[in-house]
């Protein structure tokens, strides 16, 4: 994926949606780690799973739509 992104950037293609997907993936991973940690309270687990779910929905939405000028 990184190699393909570099190729798109070299031809000046609009890739803001790809950067947004990367940010959402990092947020989802971070929230999932916090949610499934053994020391997390039930409230932290629910919040982490909710944030991760929203991030995954955003990733899928960006993958389907691929807006030309996201930012």
Task: Tell me if 52 is assigned to some domain.
Answer: yes
pLDDT above 70 covers a percentage of the chain that reads: 92
Task: Tell me if 71 is assigned to some domain.
Answer: no
Query: 70 vs 26, 43, 62, CA distance in Å?
Result: 19, 33, 9
| Of 15, 14, 35, 13, nearest in space to 23 by CA | 15
- The number of folded domains in the chain is 1
Domain that holds residue 52: 14-65
Q: Which residue, chain included where needed, has tokens 């939405």?
A: 61
This prediction's pTM = 0.77
Residues 9-29 pLDDT 10s: 788 767 787 888 889 999 999
CA distance 70 to 37: 34
């Amino acid at each position: 994926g990184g190699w393909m992104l570099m190729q798109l950037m070299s031809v000046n293609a609009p890739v803001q949606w790809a950067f947004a997907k990367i940010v959402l993936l990092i947020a989802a991973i971070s929230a999932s780690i916090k949610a499934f940690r053994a020391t997390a309270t039930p409230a932290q687990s629910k919040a982490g799973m909710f944030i991760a779910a929203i991030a995954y929905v955003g990733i899928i939405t960006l993958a389907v739509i691929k807006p030309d000028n996201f930012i």
